[in-house]
Amino acid sequence: MSTATDRRLARRLHALVHSTKRDYSAGSERPLGGYLAAMTGFGAYTAAWAAVVRLSGRPLPDRPAPADIVLTSVAAFRLSRLLSKASVTSPLRAPFTRYVGPQGPAELHEVAREEAGKETVGELMTCPFCTGVWMVSTLTAGQLLWPRATRTAMGALTALAGADALQLAYAALVDRTTGDHDDEGG
């Protein structure tokens, strides 16, 4: 191909990208390029794990065991909330987010910085649903490569999720008891 043809193709592609973004966004600014980069990054991450699993020679199971599905679900839930919402992990998110305020016990409400290159990462890092996709992929790969260590870590995360649920239930019970007592006492 000639240089002139390359330039024409690049201009057409550029126009197509901009018209698609304009038509999709309906007047709202959406970081489609960032989302595309995040999807590409996730695809590369998953492909790398798949290559490592294949090179390890470990056989894939016919299907995941039901207990592993439950363990992975709870562990991914807890790990994604820990990474995306916990106060203690806010330094990891700070370069890409802005603090808004508290949001639930030991969790923060943060919003993505609207700076080029930071918005998509900020959205990903503050969204437990988004980080959950990466956690499930990572934990699944871990189960295939290092099953004992990964299941031990997932067991600890699952126990933490259970402990969190008990803490919340206890706090609700105390609040209810205290509230009932206050209503009765005047």
pLDDT tens-place string over residues 99-155: 999 998 889 999 999 988 899 999 999 999 999 999 999 999 999 999 999 999 999
Residue 88: pLDDT over 60? yes
- Per-residue pLDDT, 185: 46
Residue 1: pLDDT over 80? no
How many domains are contained in the chain?
Answer: 1
> Is 175 a member of any domain?
yes
Residue keyed to tokens 């203690």: 88
Domain hosting residue 94, numbered range: 34-185
- Per-residue pLDDT, 29: 77
Average per-residue pLDDT in the chain? 91
> Is 21 a member of any domain?
no
Alpha-helical (H) ranges within 57-146 are 66-85, 90-93, 119-126, 128-145
- Residues 63-86: what's their mean pLDDT? 96
How far is Cα 3 from Cα 52, in angstroms, rounded to an integer? Answer: 39
Copy the structure tokens of residue 49: 């794990």
- Whole-structure pTM value: 0.81
> Is 46 a member of any domain?
yes
> Is 44 a member of any domain?
yes
